[in-house]
Structure 1
């Protein structure tokens, strides 16, 4: 049962950063999921595409720690790679396994996904495996993404500067709410319309927001122990996403067989409860209850005609339901 969206409170230390490594991770994610990332990216060269496939688990639904790490507000990719090279191999290997858990969980995941060799190497031979990953990052940047970065970086830097100005002008909660329609001011902080519930108090650890030209339709919250919470958001706000509770109410309304039949009765023309009851020989009280629930869920429009109330199906709301649901699931 969905109880609440992701909540972030304790907004005493909030900053923005531009991260080339984070944007590279979003690019690798996007090129591997073109069904919901219709972005204009050049195809990966054949050899790099094979390597990207082997490391795809680091940039899927949960990102490996290097892609959600912020060391400074605007570091170069070279500086970020140097941070990774300075880590002990076993520690970096554990960071790469973050999306799939500890060693035992990682090996189970690997067998299910057909990436046994790559994950097993991180567990059993972290030195060579980590070196291969760092080579992959350098190749992906130099041979594929570097040409895009000069055009992307100013967009991200401008968004980060605007966020800093918004924090000064209206406070961190209002500034965060301005990042995307899925983020709203609530409960002394903000809430994000995501499917999985969660609450993060960032009073001590801080919050870093990282804009991305490629992460839409996602709004990504990265919770890595011992680090500031990282929020990766679209540089340009996406379309609104209804709250989960509203979508649940609509889905529940249509999941009732009787209510679905009543929705069908008002799909082609407005009708009253009495008309529907008489035409289909059903109880008028029950029909009226169904119509009111459809209206309360935002799926039907009531119009009073003297003593009578006609209901008409809101076809646009029904048509949007699939897209709204997908938007929520992808957040």
Structure 2
């Protein structure tokens, strides 16, 4: 059990971040044990051939049988707009002492693949991660990022409507908040209590965890939790069609309106419905102009959400 103790100032400083490097490191869990990540099986199938050409010795040396990864793969993001290039530059410049300490914290030793010169080992693992990104993440990152950003928007809406406690108690079944303490039930049998002490608690949605998790060491306070909407990322979605609404709006627009109970980008919707993002954008503009959906810019993405008028129309149609 890991307990983060928040004072009044810390409660106000809870924030969200998205980390491409964190996603990259945590994806090694799905690669190592696909059976534990059924929602990502389509991604694993699509990238299987590309992964066969990678430096698998270096990549597998970063994860142990418990599916733990070293903390240098889980940097605390400063915002939801963190860039992989910045995170990789920081990784390449970590000190040999930090590199070896984080590996030992996971493995109890330095894995053989990283024995010898620490600087050479850091270069090798960074090169391996760059290749993993290019082969298996870069083609799909806009879709993944859309899901992660939509989750952050949803959690922010929860805080505004229901309060911080409701949001924290809803991010994972292994995370709960009460009396100023956030508890994360980890597989680590050791109990840890860590005051926030003005450092801020960062919440990081991810595609590659099924439960709340945290860094192995006593680094900056951070909780990684499963992002909502993962299951819809890889497969086309078939939404029940309210026939009366479809007769007015058309089948595609009615399906989009039905799906927008939670915020989503045109890229994500295109993947879910198996159509191009440009076609989705045309329909979304019509729905927005009619007042049936609202949009908000989030970083480089535009997220759409069903408006009260749109919800009323669906309710009447049903």
Q: Same fold (TM over 0.5)?
A: yes
* Aligned 8 A contact 1:156 1:211 in 2: yes
For structure 2, the 5+ residue unaligned runs are: 231-318
Aligned positions of 1:1-331 closer than 5 A: 5-10=1-6, 11-12=10-11, 13-38=13-38, 39=40, 40=42, 41=44, 42-43=47-48, 44-48=50-54, 50-57=56-63, 61-73=67-79, 74-100=81-107, 105-107=108-110, 110=111, 116=112, 118-121=113-116, 125-195=117-187, 196=189, 197-216=191-210, 218-222=211-215, 224-225=217-218, 227-236=219-228
* Aligned 8 A contact 2:209 2:225 in 1: yes
Q: What SS is found at the alignment partner of 1:80?
A: helix
TM-score by length of 1: 0.58
Cα distance in 2 for residues equivalent to 1:59 and 1:80: 26
* Aligned 8 A contact 1:9 1:202 in 2: yes
Decide whether aligned partners of structure 1 residues 166 and 224 sit closer, same or farther in structure 2, where only a CA change above 3 A counts. farther
State the Cα RMSD in Å: 2.7
Cα distance in 2 for residues equivalent to 1:58 and 1:127: 22
TM-score by length of 2: 0.60
Residue matched to 1:317: none
Cα distance in 1 for residues equivalent to 2:3 and 2:88: 32
* Aligned 8 A contact 1:58 1:64 in 2: no
Q: Which has the larger radius of gyration?
A: 1
* Aligned 8 A contact 2:55 2:128 in 1: no
For structure 1, the 5+ residue unaligned runs are: 111-115, 239-331
* Aligned 8 A contact 1:173 1:185 in 2: yes
Deviation at 1:85, TM superposition (A): 2.3
* Aligned 8 A contact 1:6 1:194 in 2: yes
Deviation at 1:63, TM superposition (A): 2.0
Cα distance in 1 for residues equivalent to 2:5 and 2:97: 33
Decide whether aligned partners of structure 1 residues 91 and 59 sit closer, same or farther in structure 2, where only a CA change above 3 A counts. farther
**1:106-145 alpha-carbon deviations (Å, 9 max, x no partner):** 15xx4xxxxx2x2423xxx111111101101111101222
Deviation at 1:223, TM superposition (A): 5.1
Decide whether aligned partners of structure 1 residues 32 and 8 sit closer, same or farther in structure 2, where only a CA change above 3 A counts. same
Decide whether aligned partners of structure 1 residues 24 and 72 sit closer, same or farther in structure 2, where only a CA change above 3 A counts. same
Deviation at 1:212, TM superposition (A): 0.9
Deviation at 1:53, TM superposition (A): 5.0
Deviation at 1:69, TM superposition (A): 0.8
* Aligned 8 A contact 2:212 2:225 in 1: yes
Decide whether aligned partners of structure 1 residues 58 and 18 sit closer, same or farther in structure 2, where only a CA change above 3 A counts. farther
**1:238-285 alpha-carbon deviations (Å, 9 max, x no partner):** 9xxxxxxxxxxxxxxxxxxxxxxxxxxxxxxxxxxxxxxxxxxxxxxx
Cα distance in 1 for residues equivalent to 2:155 and 2:76: 17
Deviation at 1:209, TM superposition (A): 0.8
